[in-house]
Amino acid sequence: MPKFVVEGGHPLSGTIRPAGNKNAALPIIAATLLTEEEVVLENVPHIRDVRTLLELLGVLGAEVEWLDNNSVRVRAAEVGVNELDAEMAAKIRASILLAGPMLARAGRMMLPPPGGDVIGRRRVDTHFLALTKLGATVKADRGYMIETTGLKGADIFLDEPSVTATENAVMAATLAKGHTRLRNAAAEPHVQDLCHMLNGLGAKISGIGTGILEIEGVDRLHGGRFRISSDHIEVGSFIGLAAVTGGEILIEDAAVEHLDSILLAFERMGVVCEARGRDLFVAADQERVIRMDLGGHIPKIDDGPWPAFPADLTSIALVVATQCRGTILIYEKMFESRMFFADKLISMGARIVLCDPHRAVVVGPSRLRAAPVESPDIRAGMALLIAALGAEGKSDLYNVGQIERGYERIDERLRALGAHITRTDSRGD
């Protein structure tokens, strides 16, 4: 198994460009099943989750070809298989995104339980409630058998603003007969990207970026070309990287239009960024003093549905807070296991009180020291990598395949900023 050997204590400086949005690429790849014609996708992150989903499309009968390192051609002229291999589906959470398009295209899908990060219970009920409203039947046993004799538009209220459930419902409704009104829909940048991509193929979706999506079903979609937006979660990770290492980083094509809540949260910790057109500049030697709430009360950073602070960045915020003067509460509301990696930061010298599965109080700054740590999931893994880059000494970071599921060639890209990081076999072979 590979690991990263990281020598910390070196400020990282230079220019970096975020990859395409992973959480947009996955539903967009799934959406290529909705048309028989060729679709070319650009700015696709070349990461493990994307490769796995493309393999699943190939199993279903689609032609898949990488045109270059970040461009993919997909043509699903015929979809002859409607049952996924359980072992392959268990590799990624995104396998569930095939439910909507396969239901619309083939009328039937046998879906094994999806995999993904172990960050708490991740219910799938909302997906199937929405698809049932559109005319599907769902039978659950060791997997999920979904079938329909024809999808019809409906007025749907999601019981939670689930990103992937919204995406599944939108994809299915695109080819349903009649009008669909999807209320309490997720509005994250990746949901917006999917809707714009579908409209580019001939779909009729309005309300993009809001909690109510209106979809007028069409008979068919045509082919096309779409460029996936920059990953705002990577941008937030790079802001945290600059803050913890004390470096000066210019983030190109930073999706600035999606950063309002992210920049506010970092400013609360004394980390200020400067927008330069489509780029974002993070200066060295940030103040890194936590701004107290009025009356001297302890502030908090908490996540929520878009446009609130993204849950995927709470792990990064936790690490940044360890290097800021003052006390702050990090409150992760969505997943009950995401904060458990705090014990690894404590072993590196961080002063953190884990109050419960969702809340951690951080008192900073702490002098981080090198330690052997293991990545439990994508985002916690990136947070631990940032901590190791800011720590004194040499750290071994294990299970880096988790990080590489979400961050493309991260070791190479960070070395270009001056990081002392080596990818090697964890057994030392």
pLDDT tens, residue by residue, 75-111: 999 887 677 777 777 767 778 899 999 999 989 888 8
Residues 73 and 194 in one domain: yes
Q: Where are the alpha helices (DSSP H) in 277-347?
A: 314-321, 342-347
**Residue 112: per-residue pLDDT:** 79
| 139: exposed, middle or buried (Cβ count in 10 Å: 0-12, 13-18, 19+) | exposed
Structure confidence by residue, pLDDT tens digits, 280-299: 999 998 899 999 999 999 99
Residues 91 and 141 in one domain: yes
**Domain final position from 201, 227, 253:** 227
Residues 283 and 191 in one domain: no
Indicate which CATH number applies to the domain containing 268: 3.65.10.10
Give the domain extent around 176: 22-227
Residues 361 and 234 in one domain: yes
**Half-sphere CA count of 88, side-chain side, radius 13 A:** 17
Residues 156 and 240 in one domain: no
Contacts of residue 40, Cβ cutoff 8 Å, sequence gap at least 6: 67, 71, 72, 73, 74, 224, 225, 226
Residues 32 and 174 in one domain: yes
Look at the chain and report how many structural domains it folds into: 2
Strand partners, 8: none
Told to judge if 285 belongs to the known catalytic residues of this protein, a careful annotator would answer: no
Residues 46 and 171 in one domain: yes
What SS3 state is found at 306? coil
Higher pLDDT, 344 or 94: 344
Catalytic residue among 117, 193, 302, 303: 117
Residues 124 and 259 in one domain: no
**Residue 119: per-residue pLDDT:** 38
**Domain final position from 177, 198, 227:** 227
Strand partners, 365: none
DSSP secondary structure, 72-89, as one string? EEEE-S-----B--HHHH
What SS3 state is found at 35? coil
Q: Is the pLDDT of residue 421 over 70?
A: yes
Token pair for 364: 């900073």
**Domain final position from 198, 227, 256:** 227
Residues 186 and 326 in one domain: no
Structure confidence by residue, pLDDT tens digits, 180-209: 999 999 999 999 999 999 999 999 999 999
| H or E segment to which residue 109 belongs | strand 108-111
Structure confidence by residue, pLDDT tens digits, 251-268: 999 999 999 999 999 999
**Residue 429: per-residue pLDDT:** 37
What are the C-alpha distances in Å from 201 to residues 40, 103, 106, 172, 367?
A: 11, 18, 19, 14, 52
Residues 123 and 170 in one domain: yes
| 253: exposed, middle or buried (Cβ count in 10 Å: 0-12, 13-18, 19+) | middle
Q: Are 381 and 400 in contact (CB under 8 A)?
A: yes
Residues 337 and 415 in one domain: yes
Token pair for 144: 């999920």
Residues 184 and 249 in one domain: no
Helix axes 99-106, 22-31, angle to 10 degrees: 10
